[in-house]
Amino acid sequence: MHLNIEIKAHCDNPETVRQYLLNKNAFYSGTDHQTDTYFNVEKGRMKLREGNIENALIHYSRENQAGPKASEVTLYEVTKIGILKKLLLSALSIKVIVEKKREIYFIGNVKFHIDVVRGLGSFVEIEAIDSTGEIGKIKLQEQCSFFMKELKIETKDLIDNSYSDMLLALA
């Protein structure tokens, strides 16, 4: 399990975000076409991510709030996604499916996503990640706040919930 401090915001200017990241020599992991299948679970959220870059079973807990928020994340990278998906579908019911195109960038321990989510639009995410427990919550919050200012993300653009919640609200 590791700690993330993250924000999600509407993004009307993905090219501006992309250019900022390129100007800062961010490491570009690529563009991933992801399908996140959310399952009904008792605690937190659990999703199976299927992509051409990232494939994982992810369980996380976080409060729905605008602005930087803490998430406790357990991520299990999957090599045989089909077998795991079949097992999960036989045991759990599907809550919602989120499909997106995601550009993935890194500056140190901070991960950036430029997302286009089917049915919802364009977004930017900033995730300050402490995978070793050595950075700490305060430093992660500082990193997240710094990049929000750098990218000129305004409070009115912040999203307080997940893409899954947003899609469920439309149903």
**Per-residue confidence band for 73, with pLDDT thresholds at 50, 70 and 90:** confident
Report the topology of domain 2-170: Hypothetical Protein Pfu-838710-001 (2.40.320)
9-65, pLDDT tens digit by residue? 999 999 999 999 999 999 999 999 999 999 999 999 999 999 999 999 999 887 766
161 vs 37, more confident? 37
115 vs 71, more confident? 115
**Total Cβ atoms within 10 A of residue 134:** 8
Q: Is the pLDDT score of 1 beyond 80?
A: no
Q: Is the pLDDT score of 169 beyond 80?
A: yes
101-146, pLDDT tens digit by residue? 999 999 999 999 999 999 999 999 999 999 888 898 899 999 999 9
Distance between CA atoms of 125 and 123, rounded to whole angstroms? 7
**Total Cβ atoms within 10 A of residue 128:** 25
Q: Furthest-apart CA pair in the chain: how many Å?
A: 46
Distance between CA atoms of 51 and 11, rounded to whole angstroms? 22
User: What pLDDT, on a 0 to 100 scale, did the predictor assign at position 145?
Assistant: 94
User: What pLDDT, on a 0 to 100 scale, did the predictor assign at position 2?
Assistant: 75
User: What pLDDT, on a 0 to 100 scale, did the predictor assign at position 131?
Assistant: 85
Distance between CA atoms of 163 and 154, rounded to whole angstroms? 19
Q: Give the domain ranges of the chain.
A: 2-170
74-111, pLDDT tens digit by residue? 899 998 899 999 999 999 999 999 999 999 999 999 99
